[in-house]
Amino acid sequence: MDLAARAEDLERHLGDPGDGDAPFSWRRILAADEAEEFPAGECRALDAWGYPAWLVPAACGGELRGFDELLVLGRLVARRDLTAAIATGQSLLGALPVWIAGGVEQKARLARSLLSGGAGCLALTEEAHGSDLAGGEVAARPAPGGGFALDGTKWCINNATRGDYLSLLARTDPAGGLHGFSVFFVEKGRVPRGLSPIPRLRTHGLRGADISGMAFERAELPADALVGREGRGLELILKVLQVSRTLCGAFSLGAGDTGLRLALDFILGRRLYGAGAFEIPVVRRALLDAFADLLAAECVARAGARALSCIPGQMSVASAVVKVVVPELVSELLRECATLLGARHYLRDGPAAPFQKVLRDHALVGLFDGSTSVNLYVIAGQLARMAEARGESAQGPSAELFDLGRPAPPFDWSALKTSSRGRDDLLNGVEPALARGGGPELIALGKVLLAEREALDRAVLSRREERQDSPALFALARRHCWLAAAACCLQVALSTRAPFAGAGWAARALGRLLARARARDLPEPRDGDVEAALLDLHRERRLFSLMPVRLGGAA
């Protein structure tokens, strides 16, 4: 079964959100949100379809070979309920340290847990330290009878209470430092005493999520709870986050699809000043721009997911680009759709009621697995090396990276690196892509992109002595993100056969990305084929996507 067929199979299984009896119906989802209840029925529906198998590598008995498929499937869950999607994603996040560096028996036990419907989490944050992982105080010390004794409290962790396991970062050297932390696979059923959940935290969005924490008091961990080598925990977590930051794109794409669909439903049924609201130029422009931004976000997210297989050594930067760009594009899209919905975007009842939940829930996506500031810091530290190395390698990105119609290669769990070492195939692939040809609009915009890349490199090299956290380098890191996003959009458009006629969608999306990177003198976008694509997808009840999946029902 190819990816599109598998996605449509999941859509059919999840059913019509307008059917109040379906487990993923708006009625049930909104009721659970109002009651702040965990969406257990939705998770059971995912289990019944076999979704947990996509969280387990094929070598361990699951379906996970690469991440492009999982990103597409996760988007379909997220378009209905971000609470369920993010809780399921958290189980994968908690499994990633074991899949990357765990032992054979650890992997076998974890696979059994997930395939039987188990859940888990990654426990990194502590209330006093937030994203400063090297400041963590939860400590694991050798126990007299062997194994480890764990003390301290992890805070603000999704699935901490309901989960069966935690992958946990703990201090194993009192002095801390780069090699002072290790990761432990804490299986609650194998810890006889010393675990106690902290109360659930009430949140603005994701109201039904189990966002709580865990306190440890001389919790006894067996010796085989250690994941990988002692003292290599921070390095392992950096690799884990390269995967998870990339997959966060699924949450944003799902939220964007629902937000745009609800706004378009409303506008197409609305009459103002004697005509249909869609005929008002500023309204139509806003919807077409939102559609183009959603397609741009898809290009970046799916290129990032495929990059995990194609250029895994460059994911320290590529994953940070995805995590900055995709949530920001969708947050802006949702704000624009809220304006179009007017007062209805604020209502908790009526046809547009799911919108207020999507808006609240998606606000969290930009925060977890490293906020925008954290990711800009990661990129800022590598800008100079990428600028210096520009053109060092004549080899462009692999052919599979940007062709969304081709299956991505299998992911090599051992191939992630903590630094890209100057490689930047997302931006370095622009010249080879343009050399293969394309329409005049895209070629012209590609030349603007190259000029902006050269200007960015010059600016970076003029500031190579500045601190990594300087405001100037953060601004340049943000420009890098938008240019890398534009490069993804251009190369996807030149490599992938779109399901709609014309290149107007790509020119519009690319122009808007370049404008965010401060490029000037960009052409005015054309509406015709973009409008036709948006309306056709809406009328045919398909995903707003370069993979126009048939939806399980009207959204």
Q: What is the pLDDT of residues 356-377, one digit of tens each?
A: 999 999 999 999 999 999 999 9
Mean of pLDDT values over 343-368? 96
**What is the fold, at CATH topology level, of the domain defined by 121-231?**
Butyryl-CoA Dehydrogenase, subunit A; domain 2 (2.40.110)
How many other C-beta atoms lie within 10 A of the C-beta of residue 48? 11
Nearest to 155 by CA among 173, 176, 172, 137: 137
Mean of pLDDT values over 532-544? 96
Whole-number pLDDT of residue 540: 95
Per-residue model confidence as pLDDT tens digits over 459-468:
999 999 999 9
Cα angle 502-504-508, degrees, rounded to a multiple of 5: 160
Mean of pLDDT values over 328-341? 98
What are 57's strand-pairing partners? 64
Whole-number pLDDT of residue 291: 98
CB 27 within 8 A of CB 20: yes
The amino acid sitting at 18 is: G
Q: What is the rounded distance in angstroms from the CA atom of residue 301 to the CA atom of residue 295?
A: 10
Grouping H, G, I as helix, E, B as strand and the rest as coil, residue 166 is strand
Grouping H, G, I as helix, E, B as strand and the rest as coil, residue 478 is helix
Buried b (16+ CB within 10 A) or exposed e, 506-537: bbbbbbbbbebbebeeeeebbeebbbebbeeb
Nearest to 338 by CA among 256, 248, 249, 251: 256
Provide the CB-side half-sphere exposure for 330 (13 A, CA): 35
Whole-number pLDDT of residue 349: 94
Whole-number pLDDT of residue 509: 97
Sequence spans of domains, the chain: 3-118, 121-231
Whole-number pLDDT of residue 267: 98
Mean of pLDDT values over 372-386? 97
Nearest to 521 by CA among 412, 468, 444: 444
Whole-number pLDDT of residue 395: 59
Q: What percent of the chain has pLDDT over 70?
A: 99
CB 90 within 8 A of CB 159: yes
pLDDT at 393 over 60: no
Mean of pLDDT values over 238-262? 98
pLDDT at 7 over 50: yes
The amino acid sitting at 492 is: V
Helix 82-101, helix 104-115: angle, nearest 10: 160
pLDDT category, 555, cuts 50, 70, 90?
Answer: very low
* C-alpha separations of 453 from 155, 430, 446, 504, 519 in Å: 41, 10, 10, 23, 10
pLDDT category, 553, cuts 50, 70, 90?
Answer: low
Q: What is the rounded distance in angstroms from the CA atom of residue 298 to the CA atom of residue 486?
A: 12
**CATH number of the domain located at residue range(s) 3-118 in this protein:** 1.10.540.10
Same CATH fold assignment for domains 3-118 and 121-231? no
pLDDT category, 275, cuts 50, 70, 90?
Answer: confident
H/E stretch holding 261 reads helix 249-268
